[in-house]
């Protein structure tokens, strides 16, 4: 095998509860992960030596990203024996709570394990993924799941059936910063958040005036949800008629995507 092409999917969090902070800086969570069909396109071409990355987003071509980190982790196990040219076309919004970077990492780990014939076990791949990001084990799991621990304790569940309207306000949110802000907020507030679906809702709404206005004019009629630590929001629906009114209220400088749920990640089909 000389090349592998793969779609690297996004996820949404149907709910997200942030629990205690661990000594390693990660927080325990309680969540429900759902794969969706918004995907980045990735290809892996086997070469003799080295790792190169080409992308429609130039920042992915430097050394500070999850794709290179994943590739280097596997290459180190081979003592530099192999090489790969990686091409990625990004479609998943950046810093949006959709797990794009973690999904790309998982896709890279699975693809290179196959392309280079390493034969690493699933547990070994998860060990590698955990060092790169807390969401990577979910994407390696390849199936919708309830997540506990730091997101690495997974219990498979069936996909939802409704379609998803994904709303992107084009805000690049730092997960690390949002967790830090949540810790600070909880230290200064004795009352719990009134937003039950996602523990980041209150922080996100209060920090962004435009988000607050949009939430106020839509939340009475629609069950508006937040994914991850933000910034993407979503509602589930069955027919286009169900979302006619909310589409009229989305600001013109935002983006939105009509998505479908996935039961399995495309990485499950790498044989």
Tell me which residues are annotated as active site.
11, 135
- Determine contact, residues 42/54, Cβ cutoff 8 Å: no
- How is residue 268 written in tokens? 């499950």
What span, in angstroms and rounded, lies between the C-alpha atoms of 150 and 86? 29
Q: Would you call 125 helix, strand, or coil by DSSP?
A: helix
Q: Phi and psi of 81, rounded to 5°?
A: -70, -30
What span, in angstroms and rounded, lies between the C-alpha atoms of 248 and 99? 27
Q: Phi and psi of 93, rounded to 5°?
A: -55, 145
Residues 6+ away with beta carbon under 8 Å from 91: 38, 39, 40, 41
Q: How far is CA 189 from CA 17, 64, 184, in A?
A: 17, 36, 9
| Max Cα distance, the chain (Å) | 59
- Determine contact, residues 86/53, Cβ cutoff 8 Å: yes
């Amino acid at each position: 095998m000389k090349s592998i092409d793969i779609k690297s999917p996004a996820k949404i969090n149907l709910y997200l509860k942030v629990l205690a902070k661990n000594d390693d800086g990660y927080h325990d969570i309680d969540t429900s992960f759902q794969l969706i069909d918004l995907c980045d396109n990735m290809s892996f071409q086997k070469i003799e030596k080295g790792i190169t990355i080409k992308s429609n987003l130039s920042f992915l071509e430097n050394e500070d990203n999850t794709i290179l980190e994943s590739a280097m982790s596997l290459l180190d196990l081979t003592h530099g024996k192999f090489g790969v040219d990686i091409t990625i076309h990004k479609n998943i919004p950046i810093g949006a709570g959709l797990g794009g970077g973690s999904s790309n990492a998982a896709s890279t780990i699975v693809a290179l394990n196959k392309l280079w014939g390493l034969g690493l076990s699933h547990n070994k791949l998860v060990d590698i993924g955990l060092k790169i990001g807390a969401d990577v084990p979910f994407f390696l799991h390849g199936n919708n799941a309830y997540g506990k621990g730091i997101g690495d304790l997974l219990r498979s569940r069936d996909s939802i059936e409704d379609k998803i309207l994904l709303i992107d306000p084009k805000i690049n949110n730092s997960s690390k910063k949002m967790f830090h802000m949540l810790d600070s907020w909880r230290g200064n507030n004795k009352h719990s958040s009134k937003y039950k679906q996602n523990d980041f809702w209150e922080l996100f709404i209060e920090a962004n005036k435009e988000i607050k206005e949009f939430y106020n004019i839509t939340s009475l009629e629609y069950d508006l949800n937040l994914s991850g630590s933000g910034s993407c929001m979503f509602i589930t629906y069955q027919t286009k008629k169900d979302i006619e009114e909310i589409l009229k209220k989305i600001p013109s400088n935002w983006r939105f995507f009509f998505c479908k749920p996935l039961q399995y990640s495309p990485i499950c089909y790498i044989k």
